[in-house]
Amino acid sequence: MADKLTVGLPTGRETKEFGKLSATVDEGRGRVGVVGETMRIGSTVIVAISALISITGCSPSPPSGAPTTTGAHPVMIQSQLCDALKNFFTDDLRVVDVRTTPTLTPGSELKVGGICEVQQGQNPAGHYQARPTLKDLDPTEGRNGYKKAPELGDSVWVFDRRTDERNPSGSVRFATRIKEWNAILEVQETDILTAGGPLHLTDDDKRACVRFLTDMTTQLAN
């Protein structure tokens, strides 16, 4: 004895026949009843139902819980960059009493690049800068003194001016290029105090600098 197949779908109102299948369309109740024998017709049932749905103008609706496209990734704004830089100097480098000096208004979107400076009192403690560029593939901006640092990352250059024989200073600069973005993080040691005394970058501090540099630049590049 043949089994019977019934499928209910939302649509309009009338009756259509397709071989041994028929569809009754009830506009008032918003349903289509598709009934037919499934013995020895296999995939024909599916084909017939699809044809009836097409005839009556039905289309399946997506599940209520289906994910929807949310659009482009949110663009970072100036205040987010400065907050992240201040937290890095405070939490990772343990520098005390720091404040940021933004170059744009707090809500400005950093679509074409961004820069933020950190100070301790009147003394500059460092800065982060980044910009997208297709032509300039050198994140060091062509400055002499940078050296590739594979021990810190695959695409990291370091300019440690503390060891510069010609013009020594307390500045250490880290540069990277991620996707189309060039970025530099500079940390100043001169006259900068931490909770434990004068700032002096250790190897662990350098690795922390590179993590911040690459994480921040990756966020901007995405």
Question: For residue range 165-213, what is the model confidence (pLDDT) as tens digits?
Answer: 787 889 999 999 999 999 999 999 999 999 999 999 999 999 999 999 9
Whole-Å CA distances, 12 to 15, 63, 89, 160, 218: 10, 21, 65, 75, 52
Look at residue 5 and tell me whether its pLDDT is greater than 70.
no
pLDDT at 123: 95
Q: Is the pLDDT of residue 28 over 60?
A: no
Give the angle 86-90-92 at the CA atoms, nearest 5°.
110
Cross-sheet strand order for the sheet of 31-37: 4-9, 31-37, 21-26, 14-18
Q: How far apart, in whole angstroms, are the C-alpha atoms of residue 209 and residue 177?
A: 15
Percentage with pLDDT > 90 across the chain = 53
User: 46 and 92 share a domain?
Assistant: no
Whether residue 121 sits in one domain with residue 14:
no
How many structural domains are present in the chain? 2
Residue 116 and residue 198 in one domain: yes
63 located within any domain: no
- Shared domain check, 199 and 99: yes
The Cα–Cα gap between 75 and 57 comes to 41
**Can you give the residue range of the structural domain that contains 42?**
4-56
Does residue 69 belong to any structural domain of this protein?
no
How do 114-120 and 98-102 pair as beta strands? Answer: antiparallel
Looking at the structure, tell me whether residues 147 and 181 fall in a common domain.
Answer: yes
In terms of domains, do 40 and 99 share one?
no
Same domain? 38 vs 117: no
Among 85-89, 92-96, 106-110, the least confident range: 106-110
**Any idea how long the chain is?**
222
Say which residues have a Cβ less than 8 Å from residue 117's Cβ, sequence separation at least 6: 100, 101, 103, 124, 126, 127
In a domain, 23, yes or no: yes
**Does 188 reside within a domain?**
yes
In one-letter notation, the amino acid at residue 34 is: V
